[in-house]
Amino acid sequence: MDTELRQTLHRRGLRMTPQRQLVLDAVAELGHATPEAICSKVQEIAPAVNITTVYRTLDLLEQLGIVRHTHLGHGAPTYATGEHEHVHLVCHRCGTVDEVDAGLLDDLAEVLASRVGFALDPTHVALSGLCSRCETSDSEADV
């Protein structure tokens, strides 16, 4: 499997370096993480790796379709491997990130496709709202 990636790189005159392998491993292991988190993870093993390299590698891996990033609302985007297909639910209030099956958006995707001709990419989306806990405390406080 990594062989495949290696070949893809090679075909483009690029190489699979230790840094790139480490970044990819970190992304796969962390599930979804910010560039900084990924960098920290990588640096546990190779402290010399610079965050610049992490950014550059993430860009590269994304162009190759190996990883994808999701904007979770405010600041830093999170990166995940392609297999990591789910929808993020971000709570306005507490910032908790839940994950639900991407299939939940299938109906919506169909509607958007037929009505607007828009091809929805469910995994890039972070839906926002209130998680069950905050919603409860919200209605209590709502006097």
- Interaction partner, residue 45 (DNA, a copy of itself, none; CB < 5-8 Å by kind): none
Judged by CB under 8 A, the number of residues near a copy of itself is: 32
105 near a copy of itself (CB under 8 A): yes
Q: Which of residues 82-101 bind a copy of itself (CB under 8 A)?
A: 89, 91-92, 98, 100
Give the contacts of 40 (CB within 8 A, at least 6 positions apart): none
Cβ 140 to DNA shortest distance, Å: 27
Q: How far apart are the C-alpha atoms of 9 and 17, rounded to whole Å?
A: 10
Q: Residue 8 corresponds to which tokens in the numbers above?
A: 């893809």
**Partner in contact with 121, chosen from DNA, a copy of itself, none, beta carbon below 5 to 8 Å by kind:** a copy of itself
How far apart, in whole angstroms, are the C-alpha atoms of residue 74 and residue 5? Answer: 32
Choice between 49 and 87, CB closer to a copy of itself: 87
- How many CB atoms lie under 10 A from the CB of residue 46? 11
Residue 58: exposure state from Cβ atoms within 10 A (0-12, 13-18, ≥19): buried
Residues that bind a copy of itself (CB under 8 A): 71, 73-74, 77, 89, 91-92, 98, 100, 104-105, 107-108, 111-112, 115-121, 124-132, 135
